[in-house]
Structures are given as structure tokens and as C-alpha cells.
Amino acid sequence: MPTPTALAELFKKTADPMNFALLILGPPYSTQAAASALRFARATLASGHGIYRLFFYHDGVHNASSLVSAAQDEISLPQQWQALIEQHKIDSVVCIAAATRRGVLNEQEAKRQGKTGGNLIDGHELSGLGQLVDAATNADRVITFG
């Protein structure tokens, strides 16, 4: 597997800028997948390409939890995602079904489920799998990180 930077370099060689959709299945910390996705996203934008959408699914939904508390000398993936999303106005969708099962809720959903409070980080939207289908049909490339 080439590194994310090498992959982005590969795509840089194509003539036209492309719009990528990223499907992120891996949680923060446990595996490398989400960290690779973040690096790929940065490299994509740095190479002049666009990001059509981030779609967090499966255990990837934990990347959108504000309750993730990294050790002080380690990076917090959820915080870094949020910074990238804000800086580049990226469309980021968290699958509502996958998130609800895993305890990632916005305020509205928390109220609906009778929970004490929401924990979805600002900048992400809770929505359905239709947003993944839309990304798969409209983005130039979809890359799965899982």
C-alpha cells in the first residue's frame, strides 16, 4: 500500500483536478485507518484536488465524538478532523444509524433517545447512507479507509 502522500502524488500527475470522497471506517487510536485518511485528505487538498465529502461509517463514527480525550502528548484525531473540516469548509457526514448504535449523537438525537447530552463535534452532519451513495455516484474517486 503506497503512503497517502505517495497516493496523492500519483493523482497529482493527472491533468485535471479531481474530487475525492473518503469513506472512513476505522476509529481513532485503535487502528491506522483514520489517521491515514486524515493525511490523505490533507495531501489531496495540498495537491490542488477537492474533497467532495467525508463519510464516517462503521467504527469511523467515533472520529466525530467530542468525548474522545487523547493523552496530552498525543494527537487527537477528532480535533484534527474538525480543524481540517472548518479550515476547508469540507462536507462531512456521519452515518446516523452507525453513530446512534455506537453512542455518537447530536443534541436532537440525544433528546429523542432519552440520553443526557449529545457529543457530535460541530462541523459534522448526522445523515443517512444516501449521502454515501450520492458521493459514490458523483465524486471522481472514492477511497475507503478501514
**Site for another protein, residues 74 to 113, rule: CB under 8 A:** 88-89, 97-98
Among 103, 118, 123, 146, interactor with another protein by CB under 8 A: 146
User: Distance between CA 65 and CA 33 in Å, rounded?
Assistant: 17
User: Distance between CA 98 and CA 119 in Å, rounded?
Assistant: 14
Please, which residue, 51 or 104, has the CB nearer to another protein?
51
Please, which residue, 109 or 134, has the CB nearer to another protein?
134
The cell for 51 is 474533497
- Is 10 an interacting residue with respect to another protein (CB under 8 A)? no
Buried b / exposed e along 128-143 (16+ C-beta atoms within 10 A): eeebbebbeeebeebb
Stretch that binds another protein, among 33-41, 74-82, 108-116, 127-135 (CB under 8 A): 127-135
